[in-house]
Amino acid sequence: MSGLSNIQQTDIVYDTASQGTHCAVHSHIMFVLSIASDRITGDVKTMFEDVVDDFHEINLIKSHFEEWKTKQGHTYSEAYIGLCLPKLFTPIVRLQLIPWNPLEVS
């Protein structure tokens, strides 16, 4: 039995050491991810800095298309705008979702 208890004690010491190493690696990875996330979020915020105010938010862009549809419905439908809007809005929505973290409480 004494041989078995030595093996278990060695395993416990090894597991404790590997957990410490694991925690240090995990902390470093989280630090690097945090820096990268902050950089990317900053880049996303500056992406629309040079855009005219009427076109830097989805609601503003959408209102221009709604106005076109109301005033000139025939040309709006001839241009198949309803089919184009998802392709127009997808990149903007993706950019807005980059900093979103569903697990983070605001």
Per-residue pLDDT tens for 61-85? Answer: 999 999 999 999 999 999 999 999 9
pTM metric for this prediction: 0.60
Residues 32-62 pLDDT 10s: 888 988 898 888 888 888 888 888 889 999 9
In the block, tokens 């973290």 appear at: 101
Q: Given pLDDT bands bounded at 50, 70 and 90, which one contains residue 26?
A: confident
pLDDT at 92 over 80: yes
Side chain identity at 6, as an amino acid letter? N
CA distances to 37, 63, 66, 70, 87 from 80, in Å: 38, 17, 13, 15, 12
Asked if residue 93 has pLDDT above 80, the reply is yes
- Domain spans of the chain? 1-46, 51-106
Look at 15 and 67; give whichever has higher pLDDT: 67
pLDDT band at 18 (very low <50, low <70, confident <90, very high): low
Task: Give the per-residue pLDDT at 28.
Answer: 86
pLDDT over threshold 90, residue 95: no
